[in-house]
Amino acid sequence: AATDRVTAKERPTGCKVGPLKSVSELDERVAACTLAIDTSRSPAQLALALSYRAQALLNQNKCDLAFEDLNRARDVSPSKKSSAYYDVHLWISYYWQNCKGDFDRGIAVLNEAAAILPRDPAVYNQRANMYRDKGDYTAAIADINRCLLYTSPSPRDRTRPRMPSSA
């Protein structure tokens, strides 16, 4: 629905993600996102600002504050089938993996994300990384293969067996 989407004019300036010009820009992003959170006009805008602030906080190693924002973003998200809702799951899995070292909880969150957008390769790539870090190489390889399946350029290529690279 159109009301679930955040339009460019609703998106506050400064509350964003992406490459940084300097580390001090993280503080500016947190401040801009806090303002956006305090003045949000829609659940979609609130969820996006919370997610963006959480990402800046994770970059500052403020894991617990980021986790609070991510859970709140997940709770207020107006669409449980949207890519924004899915992205929150990816960041929550990042929290479990990189802040807490709890691979099982991170994998569980990624399983939820895979149910939301089952053909998105990012979830399988991230889950493969977690399985690898956990030492479950069989599951990691299975997820990398699934990731490759969904990154193939054409449906016909998705049905062909893959040859190992010679690199």
pLDDT band at residue 13 using 50, 70 and 90 as cut-offs: low
CB 61 within 8 A of CB 24: no
pLDDT at 78 over 90: no
Rounded to two decimals, the pTM is 0.78
88-117 residue pLDDT tens: 999 999 999 999 999 999 999 999 999 988
pLDDT band at residue 154 using 50, 70 and 90 as cut-offs: low
Query: Which residues are within 8 A (CB) of 72 and not within 5 positions of it... i.e. 6 or more apart?
Result: 50
Q: How many Å apart are CA 78 and CA 76, to the nearest integer?
A: 6
15-72 residue pLDDT tens: 998 888 888 899 999 999 999 999 999 999 999 999 999 999 999 999 999 999 999 9
More confident position, 64 or 5: 64
pLDDT given at position 158: 45
DSSP string, 3-19: GGSPPTTTSPTT---S-
Structural element, H or E, at residue 105: helix 103-116
pLDDT band at residue 1 using 50, 70 and 90 as cut-offs: very low
pLDDT at 167 over 50: no
pLDDT given at position 43: 93
Residue 10 is encoded by which pair of tokens? 């609703």
